[in-house]
Structure 1
Amino acid sequence: MDSTEGTFEFKLYRYTPSLGAAILFLVLFALITLYHLYQVIRLRSWYFLVFVIGGVFQIIGYICRTLAHNDTNSIPIYSIQTIMILLAPPLYAASIYMTLGRLIRYLDAEALSIVPIRWLTLIFVIGDVVAFVMQAAGGGIMASGTLSAMNTGETITIVGLAVQLAFFSVFIVTSTIFHWRIHQNPTEKSLLKGQPKWTETTWVTIMGVLYVSSVLILVRSIFRLIEYAQGNAGYLISHEAFMYVFDSMLMFLTMVVMSFYHPSKLLNPRNMERQGGQSDGTTTQLHRLSSA
């Protein structure tokens, strides 16, 4: 569909979506999502279902991407794939936020967090939800198909991406400060196994996974923000390769990295119960939500 206003022409795609690339990432996301689902069930890490749902969103998005190859004028196909691919990373981010909160409690290191532990997960997840809703709303408005709606939807999506980027940047700073503090003032639990091995899932390897995943999502969010800020006729959105390099590939790598040292190998319900019982109210509520 092309919409014209003055000399500006709005297009759903400024290229024919690659069928091969769409099928490749459809298969990759399907395989890694199934593996994550297996890990969630085996480790009973129901709080991590949010991450799996992010993978399902990617699968739906790339199914629509394959369909778009032969139907570049379909607004429903365009809208669904845009919304699904946009909304998967905020779900990954929510899982990362919850993982840090659980890890801090597991290490008995609540006093080392610059954000009170009972608020840490809640604050970042609320920010993530706001970004999620704004991006979903932006995508939904763009789905109406009118030029003014497309422009309005893009603006709302940009704000949603900016909110996500801001909260994620603060989260990375929070994680880094916590890591430095526990290195300077280790807890008994953090010293329990002595020098950690990189072949094992320990709190050190989990922190490494959180850093890598966070940077991947951060780079992707910066890319998307610039892409939408350039507008429908921008250079980035006009060249499909950028999307696959700075979104598809980075988000697939995020799922792969999280599967190597799956947080729930350490932060599973049995270990958390041994650690002193009950989680704080925030995590309990989030656990119930993710299990619903």
Structure 2
Amino acid sequence: MPDNSTSPLRALTPYQPNKVLPIVFAVLIALSLSIHTFQNFRYRFWRITFFLFNANIVFMTGWILRAVFSHTPLNLPLYIGQTILIYAGPPIFAAAEYNILGRLMQYVPMHTPLHPGRVVIVFVYLGALVEALTGAGAGKMAASTPGTDKYINGGTLIAISLLLQGVVECAFVSMVALIHYRCAKAEMLPRNIRIVCFTLYGTSALVLLRCVFRAVEAFTTYTHSCFSGYCGSTVTNEWYLYAFEAAPMVLYTLWLNVFHPGRFLPRNSKRYLDIDGRTERIGPGWIDERPMSLTVADPFNWRNDARGGQKYWTSPEKYTVCEDGSFALGSASNTSAAEKKQYVHRAV
């Protein structure tokens, strides 16, 4: 008799899972992770892009589990694990953008509407909330039967997380666009800032594309018609998952490898671009001397100046000019070799 153990009708998915594509995407993500790790060591940029490293690990593990699951489509623990990890990867990828925006804001503080540290914290906290809702929802769905209260509750949590992530991404893009506009208006838009801004636009578009796909999938999954036996094509056709979930996130991580922020922004958070758009100086950085209670109650410091009331960039003569070149002119670098060369030059 034929073996029907892998029949789609008896599996946990409405289709026979592809056995090759999960391996392909796991390898692609592993390759991107290797490149990113190398670049982080080269530019010593771990503090800014560690979320990208973590996201690659989570997403890659999810596709590895899916590759194993494709051979045992009745294995519930594997199904739950790959579902949660694949869902959890994109919100962590999005968090990588927030730190990059924070470093850009520190680089051009005169065009930053709010305290960079506070903005990053708010975005990261919202991202953490998205991650928590996504994980909880995916876990409930994977461990329950369609149509049950537990399944519907899980779907509701995922729908809320998708909506929240979409709103956060739109707010993020608006913040990048505002800084981009202010730099252009002040004629402080060198090549490195343009590249960082367009990179953030592109990666955010990929995250939003994934959100739209998951929202459509959620809508077609949680309808009564789906529970009664008919689901939309996004649920019953696996290729949507690879086209609108796997591929955008792989492009996301490859994009940040090609245009790694460590090539275009200084590692030192106190290093900023002067108003001439070429010279870089070492300033005092953003300092909030308020009591902890006030920073919690008013994280953006609305009570005083929204940017912290420091405006140290208005007195550039007080701060040292960076002698190792300029990221705006493409003559500075975060590599240890560049700093060693500069040290030898000073010693001579």
Query: What TM-score does the superposition give when structure 1 sets the normalisation length?
Result: 0.82
- After TM superposition, the structure 1 = structure 2 runs for residues 23-172 of structure 1, keeping only pairs within 5 Å, are 23-47=23-47, 48-109=49-110, 112-146=111-145, 147-172=148-173
Tell me the residue number matched to 1:209. 199
Find the aligned partners of 1:186 and 1:95 in 2 and give their Cα distance.
28
Tell me the residue number matched to 1:199. none
Report Cα offsets for 1:8-47 as digits up to 9, x if no partner.
Answer: x997311111111111101101110111111112221122
| DSSP 3-state at the match of 2:283 | coil
Deviation at 1:151, TM superposition (A): 2.1
The aligned length equals: 260
Deviation at 1:276, TM superposition (A): 2.3
Find the aligned partners of 1:10 and 1:280 in 2 and give their Cα distance.
60
Q: Is the 8 A contact 2:13 2:73 kept in 1?
A: yes
Q: Is the 8 A contact 2:91 2:127 kept in 1?
A: yes
Rate the CA distance shift 1:10–1:137 in 2: closer, same or farther, 3 A.
farther
Could you say what the CA RMSD is over the residues aligned between the two structures, in angstroms?
2.2
Find the aligned partners of 2:89 and 2:284 in 1 and give their Cα distance.
32
Please, which moves more after superposition, 28-37 or 262-271? 262-271
Tell me the residue number matched to 1:290. none
Find the aligned partners of 2:237 and 2:172 in 1 and give their Cα distance.
31
Deviation at 1:148, TM superposition (A): 2.9
Find the aligned partners of 1:265 and 1:15 in 2 and give their Cα distance.
44
Identity, % of aligned pairs? 26
Query: Which residue identity is paired with 2:102?
Result: G
Query: Which residue identity is paired with 2:24?
Result: L
Which residues of structure 1 form unaligned runs of 5+?
Answer: 1-8, 197-201, 282-292
Of 241, 245, 248, the match for 2:246: 248
Report Cα offsets for 1:175-194 as digits up to 9, x if no partner.
Answer: 1122112101244xx55xxx
Tell me the residue number matched to 2:257. 259
Deviation at 1:164, TM superposition (A): 0.7
Which residues of structure 2 form unaligned runs of 5+?
Answer: 1-8, 272-280, 289-348
Find the aligned partners of 1:42 and 1:277 in 2 and give their Cα distance.
26
Find the aligned partners of 1:265 and 1:66 in 2 and give their Cα distance.
35
Deviation at 1:218, TM superposition (A): 0.8
Find the aligned partners of 1:31 and 1:133 in 2 and give their Cα distance.
28
Query: What TM-score does the superposition give when structure 2 sets the normalisation length?
Result: 0.70
Query: Which residue identity is paired with 1:32?
Result: S
Deviation at 1:150, TM superposition (A): 2.1
Rate the CA distance shift 1:241–1:99 in 2: closer, same or farther, 3 A.
same
Deviation at 1:142, TM superposition (A): 2.5
Find the aligned partners of 2:152 and 2:29 in 1 and give their Cα distance.
30
Query: Which residue identity is paired with 2:258?
Result: F
Tell me the residue number matched to 2:220. 230
1:16 and 2:16 are equivalent in the alignment: yes
Report Cα offsets for 1:231-289 as digits up to 9, x if no partner.
Answer: 163320211111111111111000111111101223342475564254557xxxxxxxx
Find the aligned partners of 2:39 and 2:259 in 1 and give their Cα distance.
11
- After TM superposition, the structure 1 = structure 2 runs for residues 259-278 of structure 1, keeping only pairs within 5 Å, are 259-270=257-268, 272-273=270-271, 275-278=282-285
Rg (Cα) greater in structure: 2
Find the aligned partners of 2:24 and 2:235 in 1 and give their Cα distance.
20
Please, which moves more after superposition, 99-108 or 253-262? 99-108
Q: Is the 8 A contact 2:15 2:237 kept in 1?
A: yes
| DSSP 3-state at the match of 1:71 | coil
Deviation at 1:63, TM superposition (A): 0.7
Find the aligned partners of 2:116 and 2:46 in 1 and give their Cα distance.
20
Q: Is the 8 A contact 1:22 1:62 kept in 2?
A: yes
Q: Is the 8 A contact 1:115 1:174 kept in 2?
A: no
Query: Which residue identity is paired with 1:245?
Result: A
Deviation at 1:67, TM superposition (A): 1.2
Find the aligned partners of 1:224 and 1:68 in 2 and give their Cα distance.
21
